[in-house]
Amino acid sequence: MSASTTSSILNLTKTIIGSGMLAIPFAYKQDGIFTGVLLTIISFLMTCIGLYFFVYVADFISFVKKNPKEQVTFETMCKLVYGDKDYKKNSVIFNAPMFLQCFGVCLSYLVLIGGIFHTLVPKYEASTYILLTTIVIVPLCLLPKLDNLKYSSMMGLGFICYIALFIISEVFIDSSLPIWNKDTVAYGINWLSISSTKECLSSFSILIFAFTASMNILPIFNESSDRSLKNIRKIILTSVGFSCGLFIVLGLVGYLSFGKYTDIQGNVLLNYEKKFVTNSCLSFVVLVSFPLMFYPLRICTNSLIDSFEIYFSSISPEETQPLVSENEAETTMSEKRFNWITFVNLTFIYLLSLLVKDFALVLALVGGVAATAISFILPGFILLKVLTLEEYQIEIQQYTKKKGLLITLSKVLMCFGFLIMILSVYSTLTK
């Protein structure tokens, strides 16, 4: 069943808007208002380009195969570039950053929920609450299908909207907030200057993390009733544009409400007195979002194992076991392999969550490495590789007259990604 344009917009928007938005006021605190808004807009523009590049390659594959309804995946792209024999071992260039992104997001969820419950009930340490989440999260992660989570996911999106409305409405309801104090200088409202270059670059990673949606852009393309580039462009611009507007509003309202007292952990909800209901809603969102992100994490883990087996053994690609079949989302691996991949990933995520206490730090590192790679480096790389394939030069000439421009833009996007990755990670680790 094909998805309407409206449905595709909602799905992509839901992918973008999540817990990362709660750290945006913290990012604005470090950047200053002008720089924060500017970096948000830059993140918006570069994210749109990266998403469009993935769709552009997907549409080209449909053109080459002369099948307008061709189901395109990252694996399909890898096959086009490296051929049927070598794509499996080279698919690590897709799966590695996807793995890091999903792993990092899951980690950030646990760190966030531990901090939330510790603030609400300080009697126990955050680590205690993190361990208690296993009662809910582990059973959900053992489900082989995500279909059972669709209703809770819709509720989660509703709670996210409630949280956003709460943050925005509180500035008009609560007259005690610093924003209403005439002496805004006393509250450290910073309009133009940045606190430091390192903190600015680190907060840029948080913004990049918040915009990340590459993992779902191809399914949205595949399911769209109108797969024309014009319509997909509309979907991307509408979804990312709405998210950008929401992020700017939340960043401004959250930061202006508290100034320099904006929570240092990166969760703006911790600043509000009326936080029990909102944080309870957020806790539910995190609990149902964790398995949604863990599912692709398990797929990436399985694919990486296949790649390493091919690299370091005599196993052929045909002997590996994909997690998901080509025709339907069903578990095809053995129950044993499914369970131990789940166990190992959950164990490492929980162990790290007990060691890491800073939600904003996790977002900055994941955004600086994984999100940057997925959003900028990878789409630029794959488009460049496709456009320079000698065996498809005739098809490329038939498909586009902007080959030179696209090659230049793909190089620019890759360079931008590498630069931001290096600078942001360095800044985050040394600040």
Of 143, 83, 176, 65, whose CA–CA distance to 390 is shortest?
83
What does the domain layout of the chain look like in residue ranges?
5-430
Q: How many CB atoms lie within 10 A of CB 72?
A: 23
Asked whether the beta carbons of 71 and 222 are under 8 A apart, the reply is: yes
Say which residue the tokens 């196993």 belong to.
Answer: 315
Q: What is the pLDDT of residue 51?
A: 94
| pLDDT level of residue 26 (50, 70, 90 thresholds) | confident
Say which residue the tokens 């531990």 belong to.
Answer: 114
Q: Model-level pTM?
A: 0.80
Of 15, 13, 12, 22, whose CA–CA distance to 164 is shortest?
22
Most confident range, picked from 65-79, 149-163, 232-246: 232-246
Q: What is the pLDDT of residue 328?
A: 36
Q: How many CB atoms lie within 10 A of CB 336?
A: 8
* Greatest CA separation for the chain: 72
Residue 359 half-sphere exposure toward CB, CA atoms < 13 A: 25
pLDDT at residue 316 tops 70 = no
The residue among 189 and 136 whose pLDDT is bigger is 136
CATH 3.90.930 fits 5-430, yes or no: no
Asked whether the beta carbons of 275 and 268 are under 8 A apart, the reply is: no
| pLDDT level of residue 176 (50, 70, 90 thresholds) | low
Of 24, 3, 40, 370, whose CA–CA distance to 214 is shortest?
370
What does DSSP assign to residue 365? H
Give the C-alpha separation, 420 to 204, whole Å. Answer: 8
The residue among 389 and 311 whose pLDDT is bigger is 389
